[in-house]
Each structure stands twice: as C-alpha cells, then as structure tokens.
C-alpha cells in the first residue's frame, strides 16, 4: 500500500506545484496589491456593500474590503476556495479511473494488493496532496501579509483555512466516488461538479426559497465572509459535509470492490 | 499429481453478452498448458476471472490449492501474470516499474531481475513512454518472473517480441518449469503450443471444446492446425 501511495505522490507532485504556484502566487500578488489599493478601496467599499444581491452573494455586505480581513475574505477567499476546489476535483476525478483509462489495471491488480488497499492508498494520496496544497498556499498568503506589515484576525484565519481543507476533501471525496464508477478520465466532469456546487452556493445566498438548503453545498460551511465576520461556521453544514465525505469514501470502497475491471 | 489450476463450471456473462459458460478444466503441477481459441472465444474472460479482475456468476476457481474468492492476495504472491496488452505508468522508468512490482510483493528480487534484464536485453534506465511494444512486453516478462512464482499465466506473450526474444522467453519458461513451476499459456500461435505445451484446452464461443494432450492431437489429425480448424469449421 505504501508503494502505491509513494508512487502516486511522486506522479502528482508536479501538478501540485503548478497549482500551488498559480493559486498561492495569485493570492500572494493580490495581498501585495492591497497596499496600493487600500486608499481607493475606502471609497469603493461602501458602494460594494450596497450592491444588493451581488454584495450578498460575495459577502461584501458583511465585511469591508477596505480592511485587510475584509479584502482577504472576499478576494483571496474566492481565489483560494475556487482554486483549491478545482485542484481537489482534478486530483481525485481520475485517481481510480486512470488505471483503466491507461490500461494499467491489469498490471496493478495482478500484484498481491487488494482493491481496498488501492482505494485506501489513493485516498491517502489525495488527502496528502490537498493538505500540502493548503499548507503551501497559506505559506504564500502569510508571507504576503507579513511583507505588507499588516495584521489579520488569526483565529478566523486559522478556522477559515481548516474548514477550507475539509471542504476540499469533501469535494475530492465526491469526485473520488465518481472516479470509481468510470472507465475513462473525465476531468471536465470534476470541474463541472465544482462549478455547479459553487454556483448553487451563490444562488442559495440570494434566493430566499433556497436559503434553508444552502448547507447542501460544501462551500457553505467554509465561506470566508461568514467566518471572518462572525468568527464561526455553519455547524449543521459542517456536520453534513463531514457525513458526505465519509459516506463517499465508504461508497467508493463498496463500488470499487464489486466492479469488473476493464482490460 | 497436484492440481495447480482447478476450474469448475465457470460461468460469466457481461450483461446480455456472452462471456464463458460452464468451463471446467484443471492443470497439473509442472505442466505447460496451452489455452487456445480465436478472438472472443472466452480465453481472456477465463484468465481475468482466475485473477479476480472480474466477478463471475457461478462456479469456482482454485489456484495453488486455494479458492480465489477467499485467498486471492495469498495466491497472487505466487503468480506471475503477463497480460496481452502490456501497459505501465508512462512517466516511470523501467527500473522503477520493476522495483515497484517487487516492493508490492515485499520480496527482494534484485538478483533475479538483473539476470532477466540481461538475458532479455532491457535498458532499465529508459522511460516506459519511450519503449516499443516489444520492449514493454520484455518489462512485463521481468515483472512476471522476477519473484520466481509457482504459477505463470501468460496471455499472448510473444506478440510483439522478435524471434530471438521469443526463443529466449520460452527458454526461460522451460527453466522455471524445470524448477517446479507451472505455466498456462493463452495464445493464437499453434507452433508455440505444438513445440512447448504438454496439454491444450480449446475454447469456442465461450465454451470449452476439449482438453487433450498435444501428442494425442497429432495422432488424431496430421497437424495441430488441422485439429484446431476441425473445431472451428464445425
């Protein structure tokens, strides 16, 4: 199992670095831009906060983008949330299906390794990659903040990034289950799931009829503007998210154990 | 004589499509057993059922005296399998693939792997994506043989190999069989069966037509080719 884990980690290392450089680098650059934009932001903050549904959707009604915490929650938060979610989806959507797509399943499963061990090793790889992605991005953001010489609400910062990690894991688990059912790599399907759930999250914030169901989206419990403005998360959504995560892994194990492998 | 492969009433369908139906045969220890049949006859389905890649509807399979439905991992430790379509992770180097197979088997196969690479003339520093089909086949042979298994299962092993390497491959099989291993060889190439196999099984339309010794075939018909055609023309 350890051999498969190490091999997968090595294979995905380049992709991890590219995503960290893109998402973390973009966040880092945006934080540095805050120094130049701070003055002009003061004027814009009020108008951004009173743009009705748009302000509600992006949380600008709760926080002022003229402060670093507000700017971080609305701008960097969006970049990190979407970038991380896409990375998690791309990593996991082909993690199992690539063995059949690349015709390597016969090589792997002719070795004395069970399907449960393969699923476990691959899920551990995904967890490690997402953890590293989040840690390295946070390192970029903290470097930017320290270069700026500003302070950010540390408790909210830690809570937000912990919940982002859980949210990325939940999205990865959904895509991992899909991967167990597919014989071909379908990156587009993974990205589609992320964008659909993100759009659902935005719509549920501004549509009163959907407000009770917004917890269905993984993005709801790791919302930066909610966390930075209230210092807490939606616990019901977090419990539901955790349950979906665990449920998806169990379903993946059952599905992958039972299915016939393509040649 | 010990039965290394024992298949009883194996039936597997792919939805409405036929796979194999009521296949039963056994292979004795120390044999080189030929498994013949045209494309779609059910040879690969039988092999894939034996290795647990696919789940079958009914019947049972015992390899090395153990049931594959309960002891698959233990059985796979003593099996060397070479698929007809030999694909590996394209970004990895040959030596890493060979090492990965040994690591998963938790065996030190370095000496045997080195001997096999020398005899098959494999450049272990090359990337898998840079290899031709024939060279990928050679890597697959090393992965199947380096741990000195008790049972070899080869699915069309020589397609893509040049005649010199085909000869070297059969020499290796004979050496391992001489040391107590058993070999099941699924192939289309009748001269290979005629030259190396003790017994043959012939499949047609998902059903086993016969299991017979290669010598008996040659008594009944002037050549194995004629014997083989006799089944397919009827």
| Confidence grade of residue B160 (pLDDT, cut at 50, 70, 90) | confident
Name A96's Cβ contacts closer than 8 Å, sequence gap at least 6: A118, A119, A122, A176, A179, A180, A182, A252, A256
Residues of B whose CB is below 8 A from A11: 89, 91
Name B26's Cβ contacts closer than 8 Å, sequence gap at least 6: B3, B5, B6, B7
Residue B219: is its pLDDT beyond 60? no
CB atoms within 10 A of CB B69: 12
Residue B35, chain A, CB below 8 Å: the answer is: no
Q: Are B142 and B120 in contact (CB under 8 A)?
A: yes
Residue A37 has what pLDDT? 75
Residue B19 has what pLDDT? 87
What pLDDT, in 10s, does the model give residues A208-230?
A: 777 777 778 888 888 888 888 88
Domain ranges in chain A? 2-25+77-258
Residue A209 has what pLDDT? 76
Q: Are B156 and B188 in contact (CB under 8 A)?
A: yes
Question: What is the phi/psi pair of residue A114, to 5°?
Answer: -85, 165
Arithmetic mean of pLDDT over chain B: 87
Minimum distance, in Å, between the CA of residue A88 and any CA atom of chain B: 22
Residue with tokens 């043989």: B145
Q: State the Cα–Cα distance between residues A257 and A221, nearest whole angstrom.
A: 32
Q: For residue A11, give both structure tokens.
A: 């294979």
Please report, to the nearest 10 degrees, the dihedral formed by the alpha carbons of residues B154, B160, B164, B169 taken in order. -10
Q: State the Cα–Cα distance between residues A214 and A197, nearest whole angstrom.
A: 10
Residues of B whose CB is below 8 A from A3: 100, 103-104
Minimum distance, in Å, between the CA of residue A234 and any CA atom of chain B: 43
Residue B149: is its pLDDT beyond 90? yes
Indicate the pairing of strand B79-82 with strand B151-155. parallel
What pLDDT, in 10s, does the model give residues A151-203?
A: 888 888 999 999 999 999 999 999 999 999 888 888 888 899 999 999 888 88
Residue B232 has what pLDDT? 60
Chain centre to alpha carbon of residue A143:
21
| Confidence grade of residue B1 (pLDDT, cut at 50, 70, 90) | low
CB atoms within 10 A of CB B87: 18
Indicate the pairing of strand B58-63 with strand B66-67. antiparallel
Residue B233 has what pLDDT? 61
What pLDDT, in 10s, does the model give residues B47-81?
A: 999 999 999 989 999 999 999 999 999 999 999 99
What pLDDT, in 10s, does the model give residues B169-193?
A: 999 999 999 999 999 999 878 888 8
For residue A16, give Cα distances in angstroms to A41, A84, A130. Answer: 33, 10, 9
Window 84-103 of A, Cβ < 8 Å to B: 102-103
Residue A15: is its pLDDT beyond 90? yes
Residue with tokens 């010794």: B213
In terms of Cβ atoms closer than 10 Å to its own Cβ (0-12, 13-18, 19+), residue B151 is buried
Asked if B55 and A106 come within 8 Å (Cβ–Cβ), the reply is: no
Asked if B143 and A107 come within 8 Å (Cβ–Cβ), the reply is: yes
Assembly ipTM = 0.85
Q: State the Cα–Cα distance between residues A174 and B38, nearest whole angstrom.
A: 42
SS3 category, B27 = strand
Q: For residue B93, give both structure tokens.
A: 């180097």
DSSP A212: G
Judged by average pLDDT, the poorest of A38-42, A257-261, B142-146 is A38-42
Residue A14 has what pLDDT? 92
What pLDDT, in 10s, does the model give residues A106-150?
A: 888 999 999 999 999 999 999 999 999 999 999 999 999 998 888
Residue A126 has what pLDDT? 96
| Confidence grade of residue A66 (pLDDT, cut at 50, 70, 90) | confident
Where helices occur in A50-114 by DSSP H, the ranges are: 53-58, 68-71, 77-93, 97-101, 105-109
Question: What is the phi/psi pair of residue B127, to 5°?
Answer: -80, 145
Q: For residue A178, give both structure tokens.
A: 């899909």
Q: State the Cα–Cα distance between residues B138 and B160, nearest whole angstrom.
A: 10
Residue A60 has what pLDDT? 61
Question: What is the phi/psi pair of residue B109, to 5°?
Answer: -110, 15
Window 9-28 of A, Cβ < 8 Å to B: 11
Q: State the Cα–Cα distance between residues A242 and A226, nearest whole angstrom.
A: 19
- Give the mean pLDDT of B118-123: 90
Residue B234 has what pLDDT? 58
Residue A65 has what pLDDT? 72
Residue B230 has what pLDDT? 66
Q: Are B103 and A113 in contact (CB under 8 A)?
A: no
Residue B92, chain A, CB below 8 Å: the answer is: yes
Residue B221: is its pLDDT beyond 60? no
Q: Are A159 and A227 in contact (CB under 8 A)?
A: yes
For residue B141, give Cα distances in angstroms to A21, A44, B106, B146, B155. Answer: 41, 68, 18, 8, 11
Minimum distance, in Å, between the CA of residue B192 and any CA atom of chain A: 24
- Give the mean pLDDT of B18-26: 89
Residues of A whose CB is below 8 A from B89: 7, 11, 102, 104
Residue B133, chain A, CB below 8 Å: the answer is: no
Among residues of chain A, what percentage have pLDDT more than 90? 43
Residue B174 has what pLDDT? 92
Residue A56 has what pLDDT? 64
Residue A183 has what pLDDT? 82
Which residue of B lies nearest to A109 if distances are taken between CA atoms?
B53
Asked if B85 and A103 come within 8 Å (Cβ–Cβ), the reply is: yes
Asked if B73 and A104 come within 8 Å (Cβ–Cβ), the reply is: no
């Amino acid at each position: 199992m350890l051999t498969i884990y190490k091999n997968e980690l090595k294979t995905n290392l380049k992709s991890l670095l590219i995503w960290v450089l893109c998402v973390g680098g973009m966040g880092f650059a945006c934080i540095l831009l805050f120094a130049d934009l701070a003055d002009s932001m003061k004027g814009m903050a009020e108008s951004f906060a009173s743009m009705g549904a748009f302000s509600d959707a992006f949380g600008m009604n709760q926080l002022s983008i003229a402060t670093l915490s507000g700017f971080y929650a609305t701008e960097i938060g969006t970049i990190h949330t979407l970038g991380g979610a896409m990375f998690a989806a791309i990593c996991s959507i082909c993690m199992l299906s690539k063995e059949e797509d690349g015709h390597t399943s016969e090589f792997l499963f002719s070795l004395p390794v069970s399907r449960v061990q393969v699923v476990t090793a691959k899920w551990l790889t995904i967890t490690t990659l997402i953890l590293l992605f989040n840690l390295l991005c946070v390192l970029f953001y903290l470097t930017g903040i320290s270069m700026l010489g500003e302070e950010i609400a540390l408790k909210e910062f830690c809570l937000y990034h912990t919940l982002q990690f859980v949210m990325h894991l939940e999205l990865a688990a959904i895509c991992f289950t899909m991967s167990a059912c597919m014989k071909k790599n379908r990156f587009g399907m993974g990205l589609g799931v992320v964008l659909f759930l993100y759009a659902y999250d935005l719509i549920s914030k501004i549509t009163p009829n959907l407000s009770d169901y917004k917890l269905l989206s993984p993005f709801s419990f790791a919302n930066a503007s909610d966390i930075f403005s209230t210092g807490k998360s939606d616990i019901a959504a977090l419990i539901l998210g955790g349950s979906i995560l665990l449920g998806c892994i169990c379903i993946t194990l059952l599905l992958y154990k039972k299915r016939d492998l393509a040649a | 004589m010990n039965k290394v492969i024992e298949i009883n009433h194996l039936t597997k369908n792919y939805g409405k499509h036929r796979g194999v139906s009521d296949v039963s045969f056994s292979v004795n220890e120390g044999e080189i057993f030929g498994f013949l049949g045209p494309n779609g006859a059910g040879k690969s389905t039988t092999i894939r059922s034996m290795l647990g890649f696919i789940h079958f509807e009914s019947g049972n399979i015992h390899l090395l005296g153990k049931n594959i439905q309960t002891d698959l991992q233990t059985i796979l430790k003593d099996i060397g399998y070479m698929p007809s379509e030999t694909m590996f992770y394209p970004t990895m180097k040959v030596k890493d693939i060979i090492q990965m197979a040994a690591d998963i088997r938790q065996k030190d196969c370095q000496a045997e792997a080195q001997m096999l690479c020398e005899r098959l003339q494999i450049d272990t520093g090359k990337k898998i994506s840079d290899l031709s089909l024939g060279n990928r086949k050679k890597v697959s042979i090393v992965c199947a043989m380096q741990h000195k298994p008790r049972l070899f299962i080869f699915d069309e092993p020589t397609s893509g190999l040049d005649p010199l390497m085909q000869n070297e491959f059969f020499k290796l099989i004979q050496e391992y069989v001489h040391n107590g291993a058993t070999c099941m060889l699924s192939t289309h190439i009748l001269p290979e069966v005629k030259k190396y196999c003790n017994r043959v099984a012939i499949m047609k339309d998902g059903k086993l037509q016969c299991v017979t010794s290669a010598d008996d075939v040659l008594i009944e018909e002037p050549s194995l080719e004629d014997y083989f055609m006799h089944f397919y023309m009827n």
